[in-house]
Chain A
Amino acid sequence: AQSVAQPEDQVNVAEGNPLTVKCTYSVSGNPYLFWYVQYPNRGLQFLLKYITGDNLVKGSYGFEAEFNKSQTSFHLKKPSALVSDSALYFCAVRDGGGGGADGLTFGKGTHLIIQP
């Protein structure tokens, strides 16, 4: 079985400060990890993914994420937050050992609020 935990319901950051949104995962095989963002009344938008290779992956809108196998974490980061980054962020995992038949498993989401 695969699972994702996002321990923070909400993260508050001042504009211009660095931000981190936390994610930990559990899979039996190799993890394929994704971050998505959801704006109000809209579908999810893909930000970035980790499949293999370099532990630091870069994505859209200046976001990046660091894969840490020993801590089973995949935290989302950005060096300088913008007010427009305020949204609901989801971490998702797919178990490489399952051939993808299980689909994506999402965390509960973290509300990111950037204060001007």
Chain B
Amino acid sequence: DAGVIQSPRHEVTEMGQEVTLRCKPISGHDYLFWYRQTMMRGLELLIYFNNNVPIDDSGMPEDRFSAKMPNASFSTLKIQPSEPRDSAVYFCASSFLSISSGRAWLLDNEQFFGPGTRLTVL
């Protein structure tokens, strides 16, 4: 498996422009997460989906941010309009919840992260 795929890897845009980040989760995973990483705030959970349905979007900073998951193999995070303070690395992660006993339970809840998209808003 290729792992979680994110595109683009780098994005430079000007303030006010729309930015769309894309993610392809690992096949068979039913959870998808969007995180943002900055030096000041570290890794922050923005939103996550289960079976393509948004479960918790309380981490989305404001209405300028929106996320969709139209099918099990694709998700987007959109920022419109973008601002310089949105500059960060955005990660997508996926996982598969397996209800089982024993040590394997922990491994089955592992979140697999993509390589990230480094966004710079000028």
The answer on A and B forming one complex is no
Interface residues of B, Cβ cutoff 8 Å to A: none
